Structure 1
């Protein structure tokens, strides 16, 4: 099974949850009170550190007075649109690693740095 925690689809899902809360002019602390949870618990869900199961999602949407099936239909439509888009136009470039400096290499850099400061 493919891991979805850092997928584009999961980002869309989490953004939709956050946007729905913000559209209701609620802070995370306000939603937390409605859910009987802490503000940090809401933050953890919205940031993707904690996942909502289906029952948790239902409770979340009820607290926001938003229809469960409506949310799922809208999310499904957004995910289908995202699936139709290419992932990236260019491949990512690999970053070069900095050379590992031994004791002598570090002292040469220090001496060179002092020389540049003069």
Structure 2
């Protein structure tokens, strides 16, 4: 599996995280306060410099008043859409069936 933080699926994931924060009209600093973290941590996560483990993601989404299951469903839709768009152009998205041939 592709481990880089800088790949299309991860960009989609980070975009969704940012979208959730922005839809709540929160600045990075506001989210940081809710998380008990610094704004720098929020920035590093949103820029892809730092990954969230599943427990951190759960806390992050709770701070955004977002259900984990609905977040994952939205992420799945975005990833499938990106894979379909890439497939239509003869490309592949790392981590998808077409890219891994599984």
Give TM-score scaled by structure 1 length.
0.71
Q: Give the 4+ runs in structure 1 shifted more than 2 A.
A: none
Which consecutive unaligned segments of at least 5 residues does structure 2 have? 90-102
Partner of 1:11: 11
Q: RMSD of aligned C-alpha atoms?
A: 2.0
Aligned length: 91
**1:66 corresponds to 2:66:** yes
Distance 2:23 2:4 in 1: 26
Distance 1:55 1:4 in 2: 21
Distance 2:28 2:46 in 1: 9
Partner of 1:32: 32
Give TM-score scaled by structure 2 length.
0.82
Higher relative contact order (Cα pairs below 8 Å, separated by 6+ residues): 2
Shift, 1:86, TM fit: 2.1
Larger radius of gyration: 1
Shift, 1:6, TM fit: 1.1
Which consecutive unaligned segments of at least 5 residues does structure 1 have? 90-118
Report the 3-state secondary structure (helix = DSSP H, G, I; strand = E; otherwise coil) of the residue aligned with 2:86: coil
